[in-house]
Amino acid sequence: MQPSMDFDFAGLDALFSPRSIAVVGATDSPQRIGGIPLDYLLRFGYAGRLHAVNPRADTVQGLSAHARLTDIPEPVDLAIVAVPQAHVTAVLEDAAAARVRSMVLFSSGFAETGAEGAEAQQALQERARAAGIRLIGPNCLGFMRPGHQTYATFSPAPNAGRVKPGRIGLVSQSGAFGAYAYSMARERGLGLSLWATTGNEADVQLADGLAWLARDPETDVIMAYMEGCRDGERLRAALALARERGKPVIMFKVGTSELGAAAAASHTASLAGNDAVYDAVFRQYGVLRAHTISDFFALAASASIAPIPRNRSLGLLTVSGGVGAMMADDASAAGLDVQPLSEAAQRQLLEWVPFAAPRNPVDITGQVTNDVTLLERSAELMMHDRNFASWLGFFAAGGLSDAFWAVLRCLVEKLRAAHPDTLLAICTLCSDARRAEMEALGCLVFSDPSAAIRCIGALASLADAPRAAPLPSACPAQPALQLPAGSLSEARSMELLAKAGMPVVPHQLVRTQQQAAQAVQALGGTIALKVASADIAHKSEVGGVALNLRTAMDAGAAFERILASARQARPEAQLDGALAARMVHGGVECIAGVHRDPVFGPVLMFGLGGIHVEILRDVSLRALPITRDDALAMVQELRTFPILAGARGKPPADLQALADALVALADFAQRCGDTLSSAEINPLIALPREQGGCVAVDALVIGADRCTVPAR
Catalog residues that contact a second copy under the rule CB under 8 A.
112-113, 157, 160, 173-177, 179-180, 182-184, 187, 225, 227, 254-256, 291-294, 319-323, 325-326, 329, 355, 365-366, 396-397, 400-401, 429, 447-451, 610-611, 614-616, 639-640, 642-643, 647-648
- Tell me which residue of 94, 87, 83 sits closest to 133, measured CA to CA: 94
CA–CA separation, 83 vs 34, rounded Å?
Answer: 8
Name the pairing type of β-strands 699-703 and 676-686: antiparallel
CA angle 508/511/512 to nearest 5° reads 120
Q: Could you tell me if 234 and 208 are in contact, meaning their C-beta atoms sit under 8 angstroms apart?
A: yes
Please state the closest distance from residue 165 (CB atom) to a second copy, in A.
Answer: 20
Distances in Å between the alpha carbon of 115 and those of 110, 135, 316, 592?
9, 21, 57, 39
Please state the closest distance from residue 564 (CB atom) to a second copy, in A.
Answer: 21
Which residues are CB-neighbours of 255 under 8 A, at least 6 positions away? 227, 228, 275
- Looking at beta carbons only, is 433 or 477 nearer to a second copy? 433
- Looking at beta carbons only, is 300 or 626 nearer to a second copy? 300
- Looking at beta carbons only, is 293 or 462 nearer to a second copy? 293
Please state the closest distance from residue 370 (CB atom) to a second copy, in A.
Answer: 11
Please state the closest distance from residue 536 (CB atom) to a second copy, in A.
Answer: 16
- Tell me which residue of 214, 5, 177, 227 sits closest to 194, measured CA to CA: 214
- Looking at beta carbons only, is 367 or 675 nearer to a second copy? 367
The DSSP letter of residue 488 is P
- Tell me which residue of 635, 621, 682, 677 sits closest to 273, measured CA to CA: 621
- Looking at beta carbons only, is 171 or 643 nearer to a second copy? 643
Q: Ramachandran region of residue 71, left (φ > 0), alpha (ψ -120 to 50) or beta?
A: alpha
Please state the closest distance from residue 430 (CB atom) to a second copy, in A.
Answer: 10
Please state the closest distance from residue 101 (CB atom) to a second copy, in A.
Answer: 29
The amino acid that residue 357 corresponds to is A
- Say how many Å lie between the first and final Cα of the chain, rounded: 9
Please state the closest distance from residue 302 (CB atom) to a second copy, in A.
Answer: 16
- Looking at beta carbons only, is 320 or 518 nearer to a second copy? 320
- Looking at beta carbons only, is 185 or 305 nearer to a second copy? 185
The amino acid that residue 240 corresponds to is A
Helix axes 88-97, 115-131, angle to 10 degrees: 10
Name the pairing type of β-strands 314-318 and 288-289: unpaired
Please state the closest distance from residue 92 (CB atom) to a second copy, in A.
Answer: 24
CA–CA separation, 461 vs 451, rounded Å?
Answer: 15
- Looking at beta carbons only, is 70 or 365 nearer to a second copy? 365
Which residues are CB-neighbours of 370 under 8 A, at least 6 positions away? none
3-state secondary structure 46-68: CCCEEEEECCCCCEECCEEEECC
Name the pairing type of β-strands 676-686 and 619-623: unpaired
CA–CA separation, 110 vs 117, rounded Å?
Answer: 4
Please state the closest distance from residue 541 (CB atom) to a second copy, in A.
Answer: 8
Please state the closest distance from residue 462 (CB atom) to a second copy, in A.
Answer: 23
Please state the closest distance from residue 639 (CB atom) to a second copy, in A.
Answer: 7
**Sheet containing 390-394: which strands, arranged edge to edge?**
362-363, 314-318, 390-394, 423-427, 443-446
- Looking at beta carbons only, is 179 or 632 nearer to a second copy? 179
- Looking at beta carbons only, is 365 or 675 nearer to a second copy? 365
Percentages (nearest 5) of helix, strand, coil residues in the chain:
45, 20, 35
Please state the closest distance from residue 43 (CB atom) to a second copy, in A.
Answer: 19
Helix axes 293-305, 449-461, angle to 10 degrees: 60
Helices then strands, counting H and E runs in the chain, come out as 24, 30
Q: Could you tell me if 144 and 195 are in contact, meaning their C-beta atoms sit under 8 angstroms apart?
A: yes
Residue-wise DSSP of 466-481: -SSPPPPPPPPSS-SS
Q: What are phi and psi of 322, to 5 degrees?
A: -65, -45
Which residues are CB-neighbours of 470 under 8 A, at least 6 positions away? 625, 626, 627
